[in-house]
Homo-oligomer: A and B are copies of this chain.
Amino acid sequence: MRQDARENRQRILAAADHVFGTHGEAGSTEDVARLAGVGIATVFRHFPTKESLIEAALVRHFTDLHDQTQAAITAPDPTAALHTLIRRMIERGASKLTLASMLSRDAPPAVVTASGQVKAAVDTALRRAQATGSVRPDVGVEELYLLIRGLAQTTAAAPVPAAVLERAVDVILTGFATDSRPATGKTVDSSPTTEAGGARNPAPPDRPAARPRPV
């Protein structure tokens, strides 16, 4: 591949990252081309369809994110590592998770793989933190991921004051910490390979909906 072609490809991916991250899949390919400073034909030469373009941008994003998570995970203190990981994912992962959810119907295998690796990394970090006893044992990656995604998605849609976001993250972290809660003892199995249905692990039918604790 020629040098300029390689450069253009990167420019296009970066542009796609921004356009689709901002406008969701409603962003137009033409905008991507304009932002990348190339003709629209060039975009389609590198990525035959709009979908493949989005897919490539997502894979790139998750791969980058995965590299970052690896660094965070290897930190000595598991609890601090988890905190770092969560903050980083919300900051960096914001815009693209929106896209990922848009593709959720028939997510391309490549994207599933890439995002799966990130999820596995979070899973590892969470379990390690739980092993130290500082994180409540009754939650799994699913819950954590749900909260992270929610926050990331929302902040991506409409920018939020840093201070507000920071406090929101703090609320989540606090919620994950072990406190005087009567550990239900059962560690939920939330490995990333969940069956689509929700009937896994017959969770206690009597969820403490009205827990006698404060709040």
Contact = CB atoms under 8 A, between A and B. Distances in A.
Contact of A142 (B161, B184, B201): B161
A75 interface: no
A177 B103 CA distance: 36
A114 B81 CA distance: 41
A132 interface: yes
A2 B2 CA distance: 69
Residue from A134, A137, A210 having most chain B Cβ neighbours under 10 A: A134
A197 interface: yes
A35 interface: no
Given A163-B203, A199-B131, A214-B179, A184 B83 contact: yes
Interface residues of A, number: 108
Contact of A158 (B101, B109, B187, B189): B101
Given A132-B188, A166-B209, A178-B193, 10 more contacts: A104-B213, A112-B214, A116-B205, A119-B215, A134-B214, A143-B164, A146-B151, A146-B165, A178-B215, A193-B204
Given A115-B215, A198-B163, A203-B193, A179 B179 contact: yes
Contacts of A145: 215
B214 A178 contact: yes
A57 to B, nearest CB: 14
A193 B146 contact: no
A188 to B, nearest CB: 5
Interface in A165-206: 165-168, 170-206
